Amino acid sequence: MKQCNYSREALFQLNGIPPLGMSISLALQHLVAMIVGCVTPAIIIANALGLPQSERVLLIQVSLVMSAVTTLIELFPIGGKLGSGLPVMFGISFAYLPSMQAIVGGGGDIATIAGAMVVGGIVAAVVGVFVKKIRRFFPPIITGTVVFTIGLSLYPTAINYMAGGAGNTYEVVVLRKGLTSALVHGSWQNWAVAAFTLIVVMVMSNKGKGICKLAAILLGMIAGYIVAAVFGMVDLSEVRDAAWFSLPKFMHFGIKFEFSACIALALLFAINAIQAIGDLTATTVGGLNREPTDQELQGGIVTYGLTNVLSAFFGSLPTATYSQNVGIVTTNKVVNRVVFALAGGFLLLAGLIPKFSAILTTIPQCVLGGATITVFSTIAMTGMKLIASETISPRNTTIVGLSAALGVGISQSSSALSQFPESITIIFGKTPVVIATIMAVLLNLILPQENTDQ
């Protein structure tokens, strides 16, 4: 008998069967670290579209399910080629949120996003096939600029949510004498709950240890949720009608191809495919003490693209690797695929229970804002770290500064592209990410390399 395969040491090996109790606790650690981030984009897009309660629940549900499916396929490759076989978690990505908000703002819906995901997923799969040749066009200075710009572009969303959400009102409910929940956008109650949520997240992130530190955002949202309930912001009436079990619905939202939406998401899929190389590499270097093989990189990125195509047909939002889970791997060195399969299984189970998804729809927007502003700031700083990993030379400063300036400047000037066709405005004028990406790539190709020998 091979007792070592069932020992604690198996936790630090890719294969083998570790102790069940330890595996479950470690899997829950990964789940807690990513589940809030996984559902928040779906909640934000559902709010932006004004979806009815049943479709809000369905959007959250299918996003959880397809994140789990993607994770499991990545863990256990199909045919030895479709999947990386590495211990990674996939979830709904904030990187696509600015562009999805732009699509919705331009009159698009979930079907429009799904059509763009099909095109973007194919682009990502092509990047995966030719990853060795394409990778050189996206050095850290490029990916860092894009990630930094994504972070910047999400700040207004967080602030808007902290204030209660645009146009958000609550029915007046008398809680006790002298206290009502007549909450409108920008009310002191919204800001008080958002600030309380943010403080809890910050305290847990900086002073917490172990699971409290990893679950800082989740704990902050729970605390904020309780306070919001005191202010009468939480309505659980819709939860009672939600089913206990339900499967995702194929083509419920439909698919619609809109040129501008397809271009906007295709660019982001190409960038995120390259970004995935960083997460896969960090996983193998930090957890397995080696570089990933070409097959692991290719299989991982091709699968990332194709699973997003599949997800589009079920109405899920775009998925990507989750860097916070990579951070856990590099910290505790646990790489056993059983642990990650359990985490994926828990994620799948959560997605199959509409009541769980319905509860998530009751989270007040001010609570989401107070929690996610820390996430968005982390995204921006991750971009800065990537930029700082290369020499801060005049050339690189120009690439980062000019790309971010044009992207953010044009997107925040509502009339900057008013004389152009609407499709141009949607692609380039609604979010800074597209212009920043194109400019960073072009400037990197055009500006002469500096002589580092001098």
pLDDT digits (tens, 9 = 90+) for 208-252: 777 677 667 778 888 888 888 888 887 777 777 777 888 888 888
Angle among Cα 135, 140, 142 to the nearest 5 degrees reads: 85
Most confidently predicted of 80-94, 180-194, 297-311: 297-311
User: What number is the average pLDDT over the span 47-57?
Assistant: 86
Closest residue by Cα to residue 117 from 304, 275, 299: 304
Task: Classify residue 435: in a domain, yes or no.
Answer: no
Task: Classify residue 134: in a domain, yes or no.
Answer: yes
Buried b (16+ CB within 10 A) or exposed e, 65-102: bbbbbbbbbbbebeeeebbbbbbbbbbbbbbbbbbbbb
Whether residue 1 has pLDDT greater than 50: no
The percentage of residues in the chain with a pLDDT greater than 70, rounded to a whole number, is 91
Whether residue 182 has pLDDT greater than 60: no
Task: Classify residue 341: in a domain, yes or no.
Answer: yes
Task: Classify residue 228: in a domain, yes or no.
Answer: yes
Task: Give the helix, strand, coil percentages of the chain, each rounded to 5.
Answer: 70, 5, 25
Q: pLDDT tens, 58-83?
A: 898 999 999 999 999 999 988 877 88
Whether residue 204 has pLDDT greater than 60: yes
Instruction: Provide the residue type at 163 as one letter.
Output: A
User: Residue 178: what pLDDT?
Assistant: 41
Q: Report residue 151 as tokens.
A: 């972070």
Q: Is 179 helix (H, G, I), strand (E, B) or coil?
A: strand
340, 75 contact by CB (below 8 A):
yes
Residue found by looking up tokens 């199959």 in the block: 352
Using left for φ > 0, alpha for ψ between -120 and 50, and beta otherwise, residue 19 falls in beta
Domain count, the chain: 1
Q: Is 191 helix (H, G, I), strand (E, B) or coil?
A: helix
User: Residue 171: what pLDDT?
Assistant: 42
What does the alpha-carbon distance between residue 58 and residue 248 come to, in Å, rounded to a whole number? 7
User: What number is the average pLDDT over the span 30-51?
Assistant: 83
Q: 121 lies in which domain range? A: 3-140+171-364
What does the alpha-carbon distance between residue 11 and residue 23 come to, in Å, rounded to a whole number? 8
User: Residue 174: what pLDDT?
Assistant: 42
Task: Classify residue 19: in a domain, yes or no.
Answer: yes
263 vs 100, 123, 268, 270, 371, CA distance in Å? 12, 10, 9, 11, 31
User: Residue 118: what pLDDT?
Assistant: 96
To the question of pTM greater than 0.85 for the whole model, the response is no
Closest residue by Cα to residue 193 from 424, 377, 17, 363: 363
What does the alpha-carbon distance between residue 99 and residue 426 come to, in Å, rounded to a whole number? 9
User: Residue 173: what pLDDT?
Assistant: 43
Radius of gyration of the chain (CA): 22
Task: Classify residue 430: in a domain, yes or no.
Answer: no
437 vs 142, 390, 426, CA distance in Å? 7, 18, 15
Q: Is 174 helix (H, G, I), strand (E, B) or coil?
A: strand
Per the model's pLDDT, the better-predicted residue between 2 and 163 turns out to be: 163
User: Residue 172: what pLDDT?
Assistant: 40
Task: Classify residue 397: in a domain, yes or no.
Answer: no
> Mean pLDDT for the chain?
82
How many residues would you count in the chain? 454
User: Residue 211: what pLDDT?
Assistant: 67
Instruction: Provide the residue type at 208 as one letter.
Output: G
What does the alpha-carbon distance between residue 429 and residue 415 come to, in Å, rounded to a whole number? 9
User: Residue 414: what pLDDT?
Assistant: 66
Q: Is 92 helix (H, G, I), strand (E, B) or coil?
A: strand
Task: Classify residue 148: in a domain, yes or no.
Answer: no
User: Which of 122-126, 238-242, 289-293, 300-304 shows the lowest per-residue confidence on average (mean pLDDT)?
Assistant: 238-242
Angle among Cα 424, 427, 430 to the nearest 5 degrees reads: 105
Q: Report residue 251 as tokens.
A: 């083509």
What does the alpha-carbon distance between residue 87 and residue 187 come to, in Å, rounded to a whole number? 44
User: Which of 33-37, 43-47, 228-232 shows the lowest per-residue confidence on average (mean pLDDT)?
Assistant: 33-37
Whether residue 180 has pLDDT greater than 50: no
Q: pLDDT tens, 139-177?
A: 888 888 888 887 887 788 778 878 877 544 444 444 444
Terminal alpha carbon distance of the chain? 63
Q: Is 176 helix (H, G, I), strand (E, B) or coil?
A: strand
User: What number is the average pLDDT over the span 426-445?
Assistant: 82
Buried b (16+ CB within 10 A) or exposed e, 248-283: beeeebebeebebbbbbbbbbbbbbbbbbbbbbbbb
194 vs 112, 185, 282, 319, CA distance in Å? 32, 12, 34, 27
User: Which of 26-30, 85-89, 300-304, 326-330 shows the lowest per-residue confidence on average (mean pLDDT)?
Assistant: 326-330
Instruction: Provide the residue type at 416 as one letter.
Output: A
